[in-house]
């Protein structure tokens, strides 16, 4: 009885039908592999292969910049040829390129293989967004919230596995991480074979090919999404540096904040995300996220002026509020990103959205380390106001976006 109850609850969390559970399982497996690799990749290339850190950084930067250009055409290809097929092809390419990394002995080889991997990742990311819409059916944002819960859990488990390899600190352990990630791509592709073959949705006649570039509300949302994405490196980059250089908090606080952030997002994503479905909901949720960041950033700054244990408590409380804002922000972006995109062009729109987010993440380290850390407490306050201002645009953006794409249910919702 208890086992059946637990199994049934996990099944409901993972999805309402077979295709949803398949995509959840595939994404979970893939993200476990990502967690294995991401935590130790830089150390492998510098300590095991023997490449200078500057060369590793340059290779990954070049690969990332080239990969940015592949998401939009890849998404369009997914719209016209089928998201499931394109995503499977991208996963196979990533499996091969990841496995090839164990053969890398030069900067040139690393750059070429990493570039192939990033191109496939961008194409697969856009196709994955389109596939989520098809699998999620009438409520893609709710399904995406469930999906992200298991994605976060997969990354956490993969990172724990990477920690064991880092403790061993042998070439064999690092190679096992890389091949484990390659296997996760292959297994993910195999699992997608269990999904139905969704028919391609025909585009309206005489419609321009690259419609996303003419969609001004969506382009504005893409810019806001990329800018609000600065909140992710706040936890992974900015706060650890701030703790170590400006507070008396013990070093374990850095590990604790990652644990709190990951655990809270896993526990709350579905509960909050399931209530944010329409673009109107998304606009309001975007505003709520900005207000939560308005609270969390000053709390992080104040930790520099508190006694040691008070500083640790303040940081953990701040990360709790910040994690709540992250859940609201991601849920808002699911609702707006899927809701503003036409069904027949979801891949193209998700490619545009991915480009905006990736561009923001590329600029984030320079902005956060120079502006925020350079200004100290004043920088944190400016960052808080920046997030709040971005969030405040959410409701009006949602109304503008929905006015430009009338649907049968829009008039009823607007009137209510």
**Do residue 134 and residue 245 come from a single domain?**
no
- 3-state DSSP assignment of residue 105: coil
CA 321 to CA 253: how far, in whole Å? 16
**Do residue 246 and residue 377 come from a single domain?**
yes
**Do residue 224 and residue 352 come from a single domain?**
yes
- 133 within some domain: yes
Q: Which residue has better confidence, 100 or 201?
A: 100
**Do residue 284 and residue 382 come from a single domain?**
yes
Q: Is the pLDDT of residue 3 over 90?
A: no
- 205 within some domain: no
| Average pLDDT estimate for 111-129 | 90
**Do residue 215 and residue 136 come from a single domain?**
no
H-run or E-run covering 7: helix 2-14
CA 10 to CA 28: how far, in whole Å? 13
| pTM, full prediction | 0.80
DSSP 48-64: IS---HHHHHHHHHHHH
DSSP 266-283: HHHHHHHHTT--SHHHHH
**Do residue 176 and residue 259 come from a single domain?**
no
**Do residue 179 and residue 241 come from a single domain?**
no
| Phi/psi of residue 34, nearest 5 degrees | -60, -40
**Do residue 181 and residue 250 come from a single domain?**
no
- 203 within some domain: no
Q: Is the pLDDT of residue 10 over 60?
A: no
Read off the CATH number of the domain in which 33 is found: 1.20.1250.20
- 204 within some domain: no
Q: Is the pLDDT of residue 11 over 70?
A: no
Among 192, 223, 254, residue at a domain's last position: 192
**Do residue 361 and residue 257 come from a single domain?**
yes
CA 91 to CA 124: how far, in whole Å? 7
> What residue numbers bound the domain in which 140 lies?
2-192
* Closest residue by Cα to residue 281 from 377, 388, 413: 413
- The predicted-structure confidence for 272-320, as pLDDT tens digits, reads as follows 888 888 899 999 999 999 999 999 999 999 988 888 778 888 888 899 9
- 206 within some domain: no
- What is the per-residue pLDDT for 362? 81
50: left (phi over 0), alpha (psi -120 to 50) or beta: left
**Do residue 224 and residue 174 come from a single domain?**
no
- What is the per-residue pLDDT for 359? 87
Question: Which CA distances in Å does 393 have to 231, 278, 353?
Answer: 17, 16, 17
Contacts of 365 (CB under 8 A, 6+ apart): 233, 237
DSSP letter, residue 102: G
- What is the per-residue pLDDT for 16? 63
As given in the structure block, the two tokens for residue 178 are 């890389």
- 407 within some domain: yes
As given in the structure block, the two tokens for residue 224 are 């806001």
- The predicted-structure confidence for 305-360, as pLDDT tens digits, reads as follows 888 778 888 888 899 999 999 999 999 998 898 889 888 888 899 889 988 888 88
Confidence tier at 390 by pLDDT (50, 70, 90): very high
Confidence tier at 46 by pLDDT (50, 70, 90): confident
* Closest residue by Cα to residue 71 from 128, 114, 112: 128
- 200 within some domain: no
**Do residue 278 and residue 246 come from a single domain?**
yes
**Do residue 68 and residue 124 come from a single domain?**
yes
- What is the per-residue pLDDT for 151? 84
- 201 within some domain: no
Q: Is the pLDDT of residue 134 over 50?
A: yes
Contacts of 84 (CB under 8 A, 6+ apart): 127, 131, 192, 195, 197, 198
Number of domains in the chain: 2
């Amino acid at each position: 009885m208890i086992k059946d109850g637990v199994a049934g609850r996990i099944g409901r969390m993972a999805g309402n039908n077979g295709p949803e559970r398949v995509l959840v399982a595939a994404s979970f497996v893939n993200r476990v592999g990502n967690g294995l690799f991401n935590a130790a990749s830089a150390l492998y290339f510098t300590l095991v292969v023997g490449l200078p850190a500057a060369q590793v950084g340059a290779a990954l930067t070049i690969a990332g910049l080239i990969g940015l250009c592949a998401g939009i055409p890849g998404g369009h290809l997914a719209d016209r040829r089928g998201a499931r097929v394109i995503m499977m092809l991208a996963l196979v390419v990533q499996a091969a390129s990841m496995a090839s990394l164990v053969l890398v002995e030069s900067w040139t080889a690393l750059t070429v293989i990493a570039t192939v991997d990033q191109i496939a990742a961008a194409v697969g990311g856009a196709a994955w967004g389109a596939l989520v819409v098809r699998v999620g059916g009438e409520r893609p944002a709710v399904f995406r919230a469930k999906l992200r819960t298991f994605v976060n859990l997969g990354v956490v488990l993969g990172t724990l596995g990477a920690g064991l390899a880092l403790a061993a600190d042998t070439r064999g352990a690092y190679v096992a991480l890389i091949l484990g990630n390659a296997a996760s791509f292959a297994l993910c592709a195999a699992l997608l074979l269990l999904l139905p073959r969704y028919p391609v949705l025909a585009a309206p006649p005489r419609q321009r090919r690259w419609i996303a570039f003419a969609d001004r509300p969506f382009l504005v949302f893409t810019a806001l999404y990329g800018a609000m994405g600065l909140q992710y490196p706040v936890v992974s980059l900015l706060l650890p540096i701030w703790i170590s250089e400006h507070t008396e908090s013990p070093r374990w606080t850095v590990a604790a904040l990652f644990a709190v952030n990951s655990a809270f997002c896993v526990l709350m994503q579905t509960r909050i995300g399931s209530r944010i479905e329409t673009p109107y909901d998304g606009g309001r949720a975007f505003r709520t996220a900005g207000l939560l960041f308005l609270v969390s950033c000053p709390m992080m700054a104040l930790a520099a002026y508190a006694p040691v244990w008070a500083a640790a408590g303040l940081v953990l409380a701040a990360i709790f509020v910040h994690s709540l804002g992250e859940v609201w922000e991601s849920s808002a972006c699911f609702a707006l990103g899927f809701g503003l995109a036409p069904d027949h062009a979801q891949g193209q729109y998700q490619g545009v959205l991915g480009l905006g987010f990736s561009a923001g993440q590329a600029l984030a380290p320079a902005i956060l380390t120079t502006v925020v850390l350079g200004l100290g407490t004043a920088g944190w306050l400016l960052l808080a106001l920046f997030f709040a201002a971005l969030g405040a645009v959410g409701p009006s953006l949602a109304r503008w976006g929905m006015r430009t794409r009338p649907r049968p249910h829009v008039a009823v919702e607007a009137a209510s």
